[in-house]
Every structure is written in structure tokens, then in C-alpha cells.
Structure 1
């Protein structure tokens, strides 16, 4: 039964579009602009299991990949090809996969920014408290 679910997910064309879009580092809005449609249309497209070849071809061109590459996309192929590409370079795919999230992680960057802002506000507040205490003496 789990094989059927896995097969269905791997054949889900909308999910393939979403994964390739994310690998390109694009937002739904960016892809929507390239296709001349709304962000909501992209969201709906990425949820669609069945997408005709003509539409898939348009999306592939917008994503700047081949039709076949998008149609046949799978995460396993990406990992396999990455591993084979780097095999003779002294870099392992596991190292690459482990570091992928560090390449562009907006949530991590946002948290770090807020942490820096909190430290700055804390330091400002401490300075105000020190000045208050000094002025009361």
C-alpha cells in the first residue's frame, strides 16, 4: 500500500513543479510573473496531480528547465546525479544534502535578525536604566 502512495506522489506533476521552483529559489509570485498568471494560479497548479503536456511545457520553459527534466523529475534522481557528479571531487552527496538548508533558510535568517535586534534593544534599555539610576543619585 505504501508503494502506491509513493508512486502517486512521485507522479504528482504539481509537486514536481513546486520542488523545481523551490530548487531554483523562486517564489510562487516569481513563477506567476514569468507565466503571466496570478500567485493563486501557481498555488492551484502545484496542487494539481494531472497537468497536460502543453501546460507542463509552458511551466518548464518558465522554470528554465527542459520538458523532460520537469516531467521526469524526482528527488532520488537529483541525489543520484549529485552523488555521481561529485564522486571524483572528494565531496559526498551527504555533505551537500546536510548543508542544503544552510544555503538559503529565510526562517533562520529572520530569527538571527530578531535576535540581533533584541540584543540591541536590551542594551539600549540597560543604558536607559543606568542613566535613570545615575540621575537619581
Structure 2
């Protein structure tokens, strides 16, 4: 087994990409770079903040999640997943300790979408009224 430095950012990117079921080609396409560039990136011990932020966005995680990623946490998370403890004592992801009701968030999202739709409909009505006024003047 090869040992990599615990903060080898490229390796962390590769592992997160693999866990997401994403191929290097897909990541490359999303980043607008070649597959070879992704390979080089994943071999890099450090990555500049701007590029890391973009990679994180494509992988659907935060920059901090990449920086703090560890195999041990992932293993502990899945080992503890089935017992529903979700405790943080074994280093599991704290993000899974839900501090809100997901149904409330869903309803909130629905209400926001409804308001947005109503604003869009009103904007269309205003546009139609404006165009009718223009036609009447001609």
C-alpha cells in the first residue's frame, strides 16, 4: 500500500470524484479542461483556492469538504449509517445531524417557487398590457 500525505488535495479530489461515481472525463468536461489535466490535478499535492473552489462546485461539495476529507471519516460514516446513531464521536459527518425538519424546508421551497411563479405571471401580464397600449397608439 502506498502512503500519501494526509493533506494531498489531488488524492482527496480523486477519491471524492470516485465516490460520486464520476469519471475523470466527466470532471474534465465540467471544468472545461482535458482529461489529462484532471489526471495531473489529482496527482497534485496542492491546488490553488480558485481552482479548488471550482472543482468543489462541480463535485457538489464545499472546498472545505475536500480539504477536510478523510477515508477514515467515510468508513466510519458508513459503518455507523445503519445503526441510525449518526453520532459524531466516531468522526462521522456532522452535516447528517439534521437540525431542521426536511418537510418544512420542502414547504418553504414550494412557497418560494409559488411566489416566483406569481411574479413571473404578473410580469407577463404587465408586458402584454404594455404591448396592447403600444398597438392602440398606432
Report the TM-score when normalising by structure 1.
0.56
- Offset from partner CA, 1:42-70 (integer Å, 9 cap, x none): 00000000112221111000111111111
Do the aligned partners of 1:13 and 1:50 also contact (CA within 8 Å) in 2?
yes
Distance 1:66 1:24 in 2: 14
Is 1:47 the equivalent of 2:43? yes
Aligned to 1:81: 77
Aligned partner of 2:34 among 33, 38, 41: 38
Distance 2:40 2:14 in 1: 11
Aligned to 2:17: 21
The answer for unaligned runs of 5 or more in structure 2 is 86-138
Do the aligned partners of 1:13 and 1:49 also contact (CA within 8 Å) in 2?
yes
1:54 is paired with a residue whose SS is helix
Quote the offset at 1:83 in angstroms.
Answer: 2.1
Distance 2:49 2:82 in 1: 32
Distance 1:33 1:11 in 2: 26
1:87 is paired with a residue whose SS is coil
Quote the offset at 1:39 in angstroms.
Answer: 0.3
Distance 1:9 1:22 in 2: 19
The answer for unaligned runs of 5 or more in structure 1 is 90-137
Aligned partner of 2:54 among 58, 78, 81: 58
Structure number with the higher helix fraction is 1
- Offset from partner CA, 1:95-115 (integer Å, 9 cap, x none): xxxxxxxxxxxxxxxxxxxxx
Aligned residues: 84
Report the TM-score when normalising by structure 2.
0.56
